[in-house]
Amino acid sequence: MFNYNQGITAFTKVPELMDGVSYMKLRNEAQVNSGMKPEYSNNYINGTIKQEDPYLYPDVDWMEALFGNTAMNRRANFSARGGSDFANYYTSLAYYEEESLLNTDALQSYDASTRFRRYNFTTNVSMDWTKTTKFELGVQGYVTQTNLPGINPEEAFANVMQTNPVLYPIMYPGGIVPGVSSAGAQPNPYAQVTQTGYRNVFGNQIYSNARLTQDLKFWVPGLSASVMYSFDAFNSHTIGRTRNRSTYLLNRVVPYLDNGDMNLKLISQGTNDLAYSRENNGRRANYFEAGLNYTKQWGSAHNVTGMMLFNQRERVEAFAGSVTSSLPFRNRGVAARGTYSYKDKYFGEVNFGFNGSENFLPGKKYGFFPAFGVGWVVSNEDFFEPLKDVVSFLKVRYSDGFVGDGSGGNRRFGFLTIVNTGAGGYKFGSGTQTTSFGGTNIDSYGTDITWAKSHKQDLGLEFNLFRDKLTVVTDVFKERRSGVFLQRQSLPGYVGLNSDPWGNFGIIENKGIDGTITLNPINIGKDLNIDFRGTFSYNKDKVIDNDMPPQPYDYMERKGVNYLSYFGYVAEKLFTDQAEIDKSPNQSSLGATRPGDIKYKDLNGDNIIDANDITRIGNGDVPNFVYGFGFNVSWKQFYAGAFFRGVNGADRLINGDGVIPFNNSTGPERSNLFWQAEDRWTEENPNPHAFYPRLGYGAAVNKMNSYTSSWWVKDISFIRLKTVDLGYNLPKTVAKSLKMKSARVYFRV
């Protein structure tokens, strides 16, 4: 079988940035608001409007400079299967290629385009060595080749928000790179993706497993044994041919020499030569398991299965950067499961895991995690028969058990105390007669941490209506994680520890419900068919214990809320004038307050805004509610389908370059602006609910509006059309004439 797909990639949404003229006007406004002289004269702004000289009066849309409108991707797949009575095989080869939306410079002698290629292969062989012995071998993997610019595209994208539209043009004539940094950096975003050389990243991954299964029915009917060994390996190799070119800036006072040449000033000295570098990365893993399986049926009523499994896993980082990370990551365990069913009505299951990790102290390396489950197919009862025309299937199930986390948090071998022998020590003498002695201290304290446990409970309900036309599967679940790994937060500073020790202190609860609703194909008339599918999941977590000390006020408590909650000040509005500031709670502990600044809420009623007024202000960027729904419609040979996806209960704290105008960490003159900056507080339009507070120039002037607060927490709930399918199935007679079993033409977005 062979498949080929050709696709087009485009941005769903691109950040909209301010044009140069609007940027300069707002920058002037911010400087005047901060007691400074405006930087851009009306003549300069008018020159930009007229675009008399795009090199002297640049107005650059850096998003447009970096990215094109569309890119191509393609995939092809070939697979085949076959065999005989004693052996079967399956093989598959696949190719995928994706181009980037990043622009390139065709004048360069090297290829700096961003492009990804992947070659996948899969081979499975199954052989019956004897009537009771079966051998299976599977090998799959991929080879990748990625071409990238000399720097990461993420860095160039970040610099878009640090490069305002009038700072310099994209390039000067003759391929000369504009820049303003004298530190040798390459802040020009376009130059970063087109002038810094290229990198080739070669990667490969292989997964292999060999399984031998022996039927032991000659000894115990229904008993079989199996062993399996798996070897996985990943490797990557990066070759870099990179450079930093010299950068120049046009003299705005005397932009051109008498001969007409540009009067360019050298900003940073670079090179046109491509340097060479390489980087290697890789890991390998071994896995082994051996198990016994048993299945037995007595008559038509009783079914029993059993399983006992031993397994162990080892993973090694091939290019580890330290002795600790070079040591193998190892897990070992024994698992068992037993099931029983009676007349396909009543079901029961018990299982356990006895798992070990090298990460814990001897004597605490292993944890025991039992579980059980029961089920009842109510619709198979005799008394249910009269209801089957409406409810054709009904099943209730419940499971309860424990699982373990042996990661140890972010601290490997947490039972070991890490000592630093290069710490600061003490001195004897003074002046030229000083003698220094090194010191020793503890970097991280060892504790007797062990497995974290999760107690999971699930109550499920499955039912089909109207002779299986409508299917509903739903689960109500609860999880309580105890012994969660975290650093202590209740130890006071006067204890004198260099770092807080790790321990099994955290407790988190999670509750929710999820489900699937499926309307199986319904025939309407002779040729029209419709089906529908919807999914939903709602969950809410709560921190029960995080080892934090008691807070001065209940609203400051970080227990009893979800783990990813944002904490900060509650923003009420923007101050309208000085009179409102004078009669409001005092915010001077946070900085100087001006009209147009954010007004924070006094939560404890002491008429002072300080750290005691911090509370929960957001849910975090993981949604509580995730849902999706879609449908398919077919009429004769034509079909159409669509699927929608949405999330709710998620918000994001926006920050970083460009979010607060002219508050850039690399200097306010380097800030770019989103178009939303037009919606701001001004004396002429003192809107207390504008998107942005009043403009200020520099971090000090913007300090009052830079605190973490609800003003900057934005709802990110959405619903979107994820896929659309339109197609036509060729009639079987046409496909047959083309020497194909079936064929279709379709369009997918």
Domain ranges of the chain: 2-17+61-281, 299-420+439-545, 564-634+641-722
User: Which residues lie closer than 8 Å to 525 by C-beta, 6 or more apart?
Assistant: none
Band of pLDDT at residue 290, cut at 50, 70 and 90: very high
pLDDT digits (tens, 9 = 90+) for 640-650: 999 999 999 99
pLDDT-derived band at 7, boundaries 50, 70, 90: confident
For residue 185, the model assigns a pLDDT of: 55
> CA 374 to CA 128: how far, in whole Å?
36
Cα angle for residues 84, 86, 91 (degrees, 5° grid): 60
Q: Given pLDDT bands bounded at 50, 70 and 90, which one contains residue 300?
A: confident
Contacts of 684 (CB under 8 A, 6+ apart): none
**Count of residues making up the chain:** 749
pLDDT at position 111 is 86
The Cα 651–Cα 718 span in angstroms is: 11
177-178 and 247-250 beta bridge pairing: parallel
Please say if the pLDDT value at position 186 is more than 60.
Answer: no
Residue 219 vs residue 671, higher pLDDT: 219
* pLDDT, tens digit (0-9, with 9 covering 90-100), for 526-575: 889 999 999 999 999 999 999 998 899 999 999 999 999 999 999 999 99
Tell me what percent of the residues of the chain surpass a pLDDT of 70. Answer: 99
Q: Has residue 461 got a pLDDT over 90?
A: yes
Question: What whole-number distance in Å separates Cα of residue 624 and Cα of residue 632?
Answer: 28
Q: Please state, in angstroms and rounded to a whole number, the distance separating the CA atoms of residues 123 and 79.
A: 10
Find the range with the poorest average confidence among 4-8, 92-96, 457-461, 601-605.
4-8
**Looking at residues 320-346, what average pLDDT do you find?**
92
Name the residue with tokens 């975090």. Answer: 620
> Mean pLDDT over residues 168-180, rounded?
92
Domain 299-420+439-545 homologous superfamily, CATH: TonB-dependent receptor, beta-barrel domain (2.40.170.20)
Tens of pLDDT, residues 484-520: 988 888 888 888 888 888 888 899 999 999 999 999 8
Residue 48 is predicted with a pLDDT of 78
Sheet strand arrangement including 247-250? 177-178, 247-250, 264-268
Question: What's the confidence (pLDDT) of residue 400?
Answer: 97
> What are the angstrom distances between the C-alpha of 329 and each of 229, 314, 317, 414, 447?
17, 6, 9, 14, 20
- What percent of the chain shows pLDDT beyond 90? 66
Q: Report whether pLDDT(730) > 90.
A: no
pLDDT at 183 over 60: no
List Cβ neighbours of 585 (8 Å cut-off, separation of 6 or more). Answer: 600, 602, 607, 608, 609
Q: What is the mean pLDDT of residues 251-264?
A: 91
Mean pLDDT rounded to a whole number for the chain = 91
Model pLDDT, residue 182: 62
d(CA 229, CA 310): 12
Best CA proximity match to 695, nearest among 165, 18, 158: 18
Calculate mean pLDDT across residues 641-669.
86
Residue 288: its pLDDT value, please?
97
Distance, CA of 96 to CA of 5 (rounded, Å): 9
Structure tokens of 305? 């299965």
Per DSSP, helices labelled H in 139-216 are 153-160, 189-194
Tokens linked to 205: 């991954």
Is the pLDDT at 629 greater than 70? The verdict is yes
Give the pLDDT score at 742.
Answer: 76
- How would residue 666 be classed by pLDDT, with cut points 50, 70 and 90? low
Residue 407: pLDDT band (50, 70, 90) is confident
Q: How far is CA 230 from CA 218, 314, 613, in A?
A: 29, 11, 56
